[in-house]
Structure 1
Amino acid sequence: MIKYRFILYLIFLSLSNFVQSQTLYEKVLVAEFEEKARKNARPIEYLQTDKDIYETGEQLWFKFLQLDGQFLSPYQGDSILYLRLVNQISREVFWEEKYGIYSGFTDGMVLLNENLNPGIYNLEAYSPSSVYHEMKDYHAFKEIEIRQFINPEIIIRHNLSDQDDYSDTLNLIVSDKQGNRLSDAKIQITWLNSKRKSIHETTFQSNLEGRLEIPLNRTGSQWIDLDVTLGNKHVFQRIELKDITNPKEITFHPESGKLIHNQESFVMLSAAGDNNENQTRQGVLLKDGEILQFINMGSDGLGKFKVKPEKGSSYRILWNDTPSDTMTVFDQIEDRGVTINLNTLADTLLMTIQTSWPGQKHFLRLQVRGIVHVFHELILEDNSQIKIPLTNIPSGIAEIAIFNDQAEPLGERLTWIENNGKLIVEAKLNQQEYGSREKVKVTFTVKDSKGTPLEGVQLGGTVSDKLYQNSRYNRSLYTFAHIITQMGTNPNLESILSLSEENDFRKINNILESSNIEKYIWLEQKFENYRTVEYPLGNKLTGQIKYRNSSKENDSKYGLLFRGDNEGNTAFIPLDQEGNFEIYPEELDFGKDEYLYIKALPKGSNEIILKIKDPFEELSSILKTARFNFPSIDYGGSNQKLDLPTFDRNMILLSEFVVRGKRMEQDREKFIGELAERAKFDFNDDFVCQYGDLLNCPICSYTDKKPIEGKEYLVITGDVLKIAGGSHYIIKKDPSYTHSHKIYEYPKYTDEELMKLYNMTRTKGFFVGSGFQFKEYPDHESKNDPEADYRNTLGWYPYLFTDSNGKAEIELYTSDNRSIFAGNFEVLSADGKMGKVNFEFVVK
C-alpha cells in the first residue's frame, strides 16, 4: 500500500509537464515492490533491562517490545516470548522461560543464580514472527555483565588502555583492593573475534610479584577475556584489541554507489581506525600525477570532496603524514549511468540528477522501510533538479532509486529523512542531592519536535546506581529501530542518534554516504530471492498422544489438561486423528508460574506415548547460521570512584532479592512429590506379613499392610513347606531356602519416569515470578529501621503514560548506598515516534 503520493516538480520546468496521476504500469511496479517488502518485513524487537551490570544472586528486570517493521507501531502478531540467558562464549543456557506477549509488550524478571561465573552473558528474546530457518541476522538480545561483586576483590591492571599503542605484549598486574600483589592467581585468557567467538584459549598463573606477561597475537582478534580466580575470589574483564593490520585504511564511497564518466559527484572518505582516536588527515588528490584538489579528513575519520571523473585518467591520493605512500582511487569509472546528489532545505529534499540518457523516460522512487512514498515518471535532461516535499514522509533511512523505462535500476542512494520523528523528553527532579531513605520525585514531560505536549505516550525505564550501568552502551530504542535493524551496527550513526536532542541530519547523511548501501535491508534486489520460510516457534505449543497396539477408533479423542498445584481443575484438550493437540497462550497463562500437565486417557492400548515439542530445542541449530549484531560497547572497567560503604552481601539477599515464583522455591514440584508418594502404592506390590515383619510373605500371598520406609524386614526365598498353629513359622525348608534382613526403601523415580507411569507429560506455563519490590520510608519510624537497605535499583517502571499535559510522575525512596544514581527512560508513542531521557542525582 502506498501511504502518500507526492507531485514532483522540476525547478526549471512547470508542473504542467508532469502527469498528475499514476499509470497502470506505475501502480503495478509499486504494488509488486510493496508486496515483496511486506513479505520480507519482520517485527523490530527490543530488550530493555534495569541495569547493564549485575551481581550474582540478583534479579534482572526486563521489558520486551515488538514494533511493526515498517510502520513502527506496536506489533500485534505474537503472543509468546521465549527468553533465555546464555553465556556468550560457551553458549551454555542458564535461564529458559516463556512469557506472555500482550499487544506487542511484555516484561518480567530473571533470577541470576548465585553460582553463575562472572562474565558476559546474552539475554536473548525469540518470538514466533522473528525466528526462522536459515536466519541471517539476529538483533533481539542484550549483553549484560555479571560480576561476583560490583567492587571486585581482585584488581586487574593492564597496559592496553583506551590509547592502545598496538603493543605486542599484554602486561598484567593482579592485586587485592589494598594494592597487595597476588601470586599464583589462575588467569584464563580467551581471544575472541568480532563475532564474540572464541578462537584461542590458554591459562597462566601470576608470578610472585603478581605479574604476568603474555605475547599478543592480534590477527583476527578483537577482544580478550580475562577470567581470574584465586581461592573463592573470581573476577572477569573484557579488553578490546585494536586491529593492527592496517589502522589507517581508507575507503571511498561515491554518493550514488559508482562514478560515472563526466558526471560531477561527491565522494566520501572513511577511515577504518578507532572511533576514539583523532583521525584528522590532510592530503591532495592527484589526476595523472598533477594536483587536482586538496582533501581533508575530520577527527571522526570522515572526509568529503567533489570530483568530475574522466575514464582513462589515473587518480591517486597523497597524504601529508605518509608522503612516500600514495593511494590509488577511482579504479573503476563507468561509461554511463545516473548520479544522484541530495540536499535538504527545510521540509524539502532537493535532488540534482545527472543521466547518460537525456530526453528519455525515467522512473523515480522514494521508499522508507519498504513503503513507497514517491513514484513518478520523469523525462530527465543532462542535469535536472527536482524538489520533493517531505511533510508527510516518516523519519528514517530512505532509498532513492532511478530506473529506466524497463524498470531496470540505473542508480540509487540512501538519505536520512528527519520529519518530527524524535520526541523531546524532559525529566525534572525536585532536587539534585538526597540523603539516605529520602523521597525522590521526578516529573517527565514529553513533546514532539514542534514543542506540542503529547498525551498517552508510553515511558519505560529504571533508576539505578551508576556503578551498575555502562555509560558507553549507546544502544537505544531509537538507534535500534532506525539504524541497527536497518543497516546493522554503525558506531558513528549510533553515537549521533543516541543523543537526546534533535538530530544533526547533515552529519547523519555524511555517514550514510560513507556506508555500504548493500547493508540496507529494504533494497529490492534483496527481495528477489524471497521464498517462504519456516518459522519453528509458534504462538501455541504442539504435542501428541500416541496409543500403540490400538485401533484408532478405540483411541480417546481427548486428553486432560491441569495445573500442577490444582489437579482437580481440569479441562479437556481435543486430539486430532493422529493424536496431535495444541496448547494456546490462554492455557499457558492459566498455568503461569506452574507446570501444565497433559494426561492421556487410556483406552484400548497397553502403551501410551506422550510428548510436547520443546520450541527451545530448535534454537541452537538455527543460531548456528545467524549473525549476532552486537552493539557498539566498551566493556572496560568504570573510571568512576564513588564513596561506597562496606556491607554484608547477605543483607542484600535478604532485603532485595526475595523470589516468589513458585517454581523457584522447591527442589521438586509439589504435584510430582505427591505422584511419587502415590507410586509407592500404585506400582509397588511389596507387602508385610500380617503376623510379623516378614516382607512379601509367601504364605500370605498378599496383605494390605505396606512396608515402612527405613524399617528392617526379614526377606526369605525358596518354598516354605509347613505351617503350624495360627501363625507362620518354618518347620521344613526347601534346599534353595535363604533368608536375610533388609532396610526397606521404596523405588525412586525421576520426574520423567513418574509422568510415564501415569501417562502424563508437562510444559511450563508463562513465567511471572515476583513483581518489583519498591521500598518506602514515609515516616520517622521507618527511616530509622535498623535493617540495612543496600538496593542498587531504586525503581523499575516498565509502563508509564503521559497525561493530557504530556506529563508523567514517579516517586521513589533512596537506599543506604551513598552513590550517584541515574535514570534511563525510553519513550514510544502509538504512531512509532521515539525518544529517551537520562538524569542523575547524588545520594550523600
Structure 2
Amino acid sequence: MNAFYIKLQKRFGKSSLILAFLFVPMIAWGQTEPGQFVQNQFQAYQPKVLQEKLFVHTDKEFYLAGETIWFKIYSLEGSTHKPLEVSKVVYLELVDRQQKPILQAKVLMEEAMGKGSLQIPESVTSDTYQLRAYTHWMKNFEPEFFFQKKVSIVNTLVQENVPAVTQKKAVQVQFFPEGGSLVRDLQNTVAFKAVGADGKGIAFSGAIINQHKDTVARFQPLKFGIGKFTFKPLPNTSYNAVIRPYSGKPIVIELPEIEEAGYSMQLSKAGEGVLQIAVHTTVVSGAIPQSVYLFAHTRQQTKMAVRGEVKNGKVVFTVNENKLGEGITHFTVFNEARHPVCERLYFKKPVEGTLQLLQELPKTQFATREKVNIALVAQNHLNKPEQANLSLAVLLADSMQLHGLNQADMLSYVWLASDLKGEIESAGYYLKNTGPEVDTALDNLMLTHGWRRFNWRNVLQNQTLAFRYLPETEGPSVTVQLTHKKSNIPASGIVTFLTLPDTTFQFAGGVSGKDGAVRFDLNPFYGQVEAVVRSISKGDTVYNALIQNPFSEEFSSSSLPNLVFSTGWKEPLLQYSLHTQVQQHFRSQYEVPMASAINSGKVFFGKPDKQYILADYTKFPTLEDVFREYVPEVIVRRREKNAHLYMMDHRRQTYFLNEPLVLFDGVPMFENNKLVTYNPDQVKKLDLITKRYYLGSFAFDGIMNITTYKGNLSEYQLDPTVFIFDYEGLNRQREFYSPVYETLSQKQSALPDFRHLLHWEPDLTTNTDGHGQASFYTSDLQGTYIIVTQGVTRNGTVGVSTTTFEVVNPAQ
C-alpha cells in the first residue's frame, strides 16, 4: 500500500462506512481503463448499500439536575435525507467524560420518527455530557458515526460539584495539505486548525520558517481557528511552523512529512459556477505521457469521471458546478495504477434540499399567562407548500441556553456534521450566513475535516463486509450468550427459547451460532420486564445463559470540553435553580404521570383453536385430572413412570406422534411429571392449537399454553435450567404538559408557574397547504423567549427556523 493511501486512511477513516445489506461480486479488473474501472466499481457498489443517519432534537442543551430532557429522533437515509423506515429501535445514551452512561433508553421508531424523555438524576455531577444515538445496525461501524451532541448539566444543590474555571491547556494545532500530501518542488495549499482547551478555535498569527530561521510563509485563521496558506517546499530544506497565540507563549510545531515525489491538488474558482482542479506531480513515467483520472461523487452519487494527460507535470480539470449535487462532493484523483493519489472535499450550499420554515406570531410581546398561537408555514425553494414532520421547542433565551445553541441544528448536521470527521464549531454559521468570507470559511472547513462515509479500499478491492448486528425491523432484539457451564466456552447449535411472561406474552425460539449467541426478534414492549430463557440440553450438558448488553460499549475518540462558567451566568443560574425547585415541588399538580410498563405484543399463535376457562368446570385436584375429564384434545400417557402429553390433530382427527409445545405462562416446559400434578386452582385458562404450528425454523405438533391468574409463573417451581433476567424494554412515554389559563380563575391561581420551557411538541406537522399551528401559555417569568422549529419532508428537504418574542408584566 502506498504512503498516500495510508494517509487517506488516517484522515478519512480506516473502516468502510458504507452500510451494505447485500454484497454482490463486482466487475473484475480485466483490461478496463483505470478511470472506467473506478466508475464501474463505484456504481456497482452503491446500489447495494444503505446508510442510516440520525438526528436528535432536544428541547434545549443546558439543564439542571432533576430536569427532564425531551427529545425527538429523526431517521434519514444517508444520501437522500429522506425519512428511512428500517430500524424500529434507536438506542439513546447520556454519557459522561469517563464514557460511563448516566442515562439509557430504547426508543421505538414509527414512520422514521421517535420521541420520549429522560429524567436527569438529582445526584448527577455538574459537567458537560455527551448525548449519543444509534441503531443496532449502526453498531457494525465506528462510533464516530453515531449521532452525538454536547449537553451541559449543572447541579446547584451540591456545592463541591460546581466546577471552577478550568486551567488552560496547550493549544492543539493540525495541518492538512490539500489533496492529502505535502510534496517538494510543488506549490502546496496547506489548511490548518488551532483549538484551545475548550475545543474552540483560537486567534493567533503563524509563520513557516526553514532551518535558517527564514520566514517563507505567514498565516492566520479566518474563522474558528481555521485557515490556509500556500508555499513550495524546496529540496534539502526542513520547515517548522511557529504559532503565536494572542494570549500565551509561542509554539513550534513540525509540519506534516514532506514527500520527495508525489501529487498535489489545488481547487479554485475560475468564474461563476466554474471550478478548476489543478493536479501537479513530480512523478514521471519515462517518455510516455502520464494520465490521471478525476472521479467525483456527491452523497455517493457519481457526478463525473474524466481522464487528463499530464503535461509538464501538470493537468487542469474544469468542473461545471451546476453538475455537482448539493452538499459535499468528494473529488478523488487516481493514477494509472488505479490508486487514489489526491483527495479533497468541496461543498455546494443546498437550495433544493432546504425547507423554508416560517413562524408567524400575531405580535412580538405577550403578557404573563397569556396564550400564544404560532402559525407555521413550510415551503420548498420554489415557495411551494410542503408537508413536513416537525418538532418545536419554546424556551427562555438566557445566556446559558444561547450558549448551547451554537451546536449543529438539523440543517447543518444533516448537510455538514454528519458527513465530516471531527468536531465542527458553530456548524450553523456556514449555512445561515452568506458572503465571500463565509464561502472561504466553508472551503477551509472542507480542507480540515475528512470524509467519513466510506473509504476506497472496500470499493476497489471488492472486500466483503461481515455484519454482526442486523437491523431491528419490528421491535427490540434480545441476544442471549450460551456457554458450557464447566468450560465457559461458547455453546453452539443449542435450541433455546425466550419468553416475556405477561397476559399477552411474547415467545421466540432460536439456535445458538458458533459464538454461542442466539438472537430473538420481538415485538415492541415497554418498561422493565422479566425475560425467561430456557435451552434444550444435549444429554447431561448444562449451559449458562447471559443476555448481552444491547447498548454499544464502544465510544468515539472525541473528548468533551470542560464546563466553564461565564461570569454572566451567576444571577440567571441562581434564578433558574430557584424556579426549577419550585416547579419540581408543584410538579404533581400538573404533570401527567408516565404510563405503566406494558407489553404491546400479541400472543404469537393468535386465536387458539380451543380454549378452556377452568372456572367454568368442576374443580379437580391436578391438571392430569383436568386433561382426562374434559380436555379430549390432550391425552396423557405414562411410560416407565413418566408422563407424556399428546395433542389431537383436528384436521385428521387423530393424535400427533410427537409431544406438543407446552407453555406455562409462555415459558416452555419439559417436566411433564411436575406439570400434570400442578394445582389447577391457580390456572385461569388453557389455550390449545390443535394443528402443526410453524415458528421460524421450528415445527410443533400442537401447542398448549397454560395461563395462571397472575400470568407470571405463579407458584410454579422452575427447573434450574431456566434463567430469569430483569430486562428493560422500550422507553415509556411521558406526555409533555403545561398549565392552561383560559379562565380568569386560572389566570389568578396562586400556584406558581416558573417554567423556563414553555412548550415542547414533537409531533407537529404541516398539511398539504404547508400550514401547521401550535399554541401554549406563557409562564410567570418575564424575558425573551426563543421558538426553535426543526423538521424534514418526505422528499428529504430539511429546515430550521427560530423566532423570538417578549413576555412582560401586564401591569407595567
Q: Tell me which interval the TM-score lies in, with the shorter structure as reference length.
A: 0.5 to 0.7
CA contact (8 A) 1:342 1:351 kept: yes
Match of 2:137 in 1: 129
Tell whether 2:262 aligns with 1:255: no
Whole-angstrom CA distance in 2 between matches of 1:265 and 1:58? 52
Write the distance in 2 (CA, Å) between the matches of 1:639 and 1:423. 35
Residues 536-564 of structure 1 show CA distances to partners (whole Å, capped at 9, x for unaligned) of 88554347899x9xxxxxx999987653x
Report what 2:366 is aligned to.
Answer: 434
Q: 1:522 matched to which residue of 2? A: 454
After TM superposition, give the deviation of residue 455 of structure 1 in Å: 0.4
| C-alpha displacement of 1:118 | 4.9
Cα pair distance change 1:255/1:90, threshold 3 Å: closer
Could you give the per-residue CA deviations for residues 93-113 of structure 1, whole angstroms, max 9, x where no partner exists? 4x4443321232211122334
After superposition, residues 689-700 of structure 1 pair within 5 angstroms as: none
Aligned to 1:343: 269
> Within 5 A, what are the aligned runs for 1:156-555?
228-229=159-160, 235-237=161-163, 239-244=165-170, 247=171, 251-273=174-196, 279-281=203-205, 295=219, 298=222, 300-313=224-237, 332-343=258-269, 345-356=271-282, 359-382=289-312, 383-420=314-351, 421-448=353-380, 450=381, 452-467=383-398, 469=401, 471-472=403-404, 473-492=406-425, 494=427, 496-497=429-430, 499=432, 504-513=438-447, 515=448, 517=450, 520-525=452-457, 531-535=465-469, 538-539=472-473, 540-542=476-478
Q: Quick check: 1:139 aligned with 2:149?
A: no
Contact 1:788 1:816 in 2 (8 A): yes
Change (3 A) 1:38 1:117: farther
Match of 1:340, SS? strand
Residue among 639, 648, 651 paired with 2:568:
639
1:221 alignment counterpart: none
Give the TM-score taking structure 1 as reference length: 0.63
1:587-638 Cα offsets, whole Å, 9 max, x none, are 32xx445747769899999999997x645x2546x32xx3254577865257
Paired positions, count:
633
User: What is the distance in 2 between the residues matched to 1:480 and 1:592?
Assistant: 30
One-letter code of the match for 1:627? S
Residue 395 of structure 1, CA deviation: 2.7
In structure 2, what residue type is equivalent to 1:466?
A
Q: Once the two structures are superposed, what CA deviation does each residue of 1:248-287 show, in whole Å capped at 9, x if it has no partner?
A: x765443223344443333335444578676243758679
**1:843 matched to which residue of 2?**
807
**Structure 2 Cα separation of the partners of residues 293 and 422 of structure 1:** 40
Unpaired stretches in structure 1, ≥5 consecutive residues: 1-21, 154-226, 230-234, 549-554, 665-680, 683-703, 705-750
Q: In structure 2, do the counterparts of structure 1 residues 381 and 111 end up closer, same or farther at CA, with 3 Å as the change threshold?
A: same
Q: 1:809 aligns with which of 757, 769, 773?
A: 773
* Contact 2:357-2:799 at 8 Å conserved across structures: yes
Letter in 2 for 1:474: Q
Structure 1 contact 462–797 (Cα < 8 Å) conserved: yes
Q: Given the superposition, is the C-alpha separation of residues 343 and 107 from structure 1 closer, same or farther in structure 2, using an over 3 Å criterion? A: same
One-letter amino acid matched to 1:263: L
Q: What residue number does 1:659 align with?
A: 593
Deviations 1:32-82 (A, max 9, x none): 345667888642222221122334443321112222233332222211223
> Helix, strand or coil for the counterpart of 2:318?
strand
Q: 1:137 to 1:788 in 2, by over 3 A?
A: same
**AA in 2 matched with 1:368:** T
Relative to structure 1, the CA distance from residue 755 to residue 441 in structure 2 (aligned partners, 3 Å threshold; closer, same or farther) is farther
Which letter maps to 2:413?
F
Q: 2:54 aligns with which of 45, 48, 52?
A: 45
- Post-superposition Cα deviations, 1:416-453, rounded to whole Å, max 9, x if no partner, equal 222424444443322222221111122334444x5524
1:462-504 deviation per Cα after TM superposition (whole angstroms, max 9, x unaligned): 1123357252441323333344433333344726336476893
- Consecutive unaligned residues of structure 2, counting only runs of 5 or more, are 1-30, 485-493, 599-620, 623-678, 680-711
Question: Do the aligned partners of 1:260 and 1:334 also contact (CA within 8 Å) in 2?
Answer: yes
- Matched residue type, 1:793: L
Structure 1 letter corresponding to 2:146:
H
Rate the CA distance shift 1:432–1:614 in 2: closer, same or farther, 3 A. Answer: farther
TM-score where L is the length of structure 2: 0.65
* Residues 816 and 574 of structure 1, relative CA distance in 2, 3 Å threshold: same
Kindly provide the CA deviation profile for residues 786-808 of structure 1, in whole angstroms up to 9, marking residues without a partner as x.
33323332211223233455443
Partner AA of 1:102 in structure 2: E
Are positions 1:789 and 2:718 aligned together?
no
Give me the whole-angstrom Cα distance separating, in 2, the residues matched to 1:806 and 1:831: 14
Q: Residues 607 and 32 of structure 1: is their aligned pair in 2 closer, same or farther, counting only changes over 3 Å?
A: closer
Which structure has the greater CA radius of gyration? 1
Q: Aligned with 1:639: secondary structure?
A: helix
How far did residue 818 of structure 1 move?
A: 2.7
Query: Whole-Å Cα distance in 1 between the matches of residues 427 and 239 of structure 2?
Result: 33
- Rounded to whole Å, the distance in 1 between the matches of 2:567 and 2:804 is 17
Q: Secondary structure at the match of 1:263?
A: coil
Q: Secondary structure at the match of 1:29?
A: helix
Alpha-carbon offset, residue 311 of structure 1: 2.7
CA contact (8 A) 1:370 1:522 kept: no
Counterpart in 1 of 2:115?
Answer: 107
**CA RMSD, 1 decimal:** 4.9
1:54 and 2:73 correspond: no
Amino acid at match of 1:639: G
SS at match of 2:586: helix
1:531-610 equivalences under 5 Å are 531-535=465-469, 538-539=472-473, 540-542=476-478, 563=502, 567=503, 569=504, 584-585=521-522, 587-588=523-524, 591-593=525-527, 595=529
1:82 corresponds to which letter in structure 2?
Y
Residue 436 to residue 538, structure 1, CA distance change in 2 (3 Å)? same
Deviations along 1:215-245, whole A, 9 cap, x unmatched? xxxxxxxxxxxx634xxxxx5337444223x
Counterpart-to-counterpart distance in 1, 2:244 and 2:105? 58
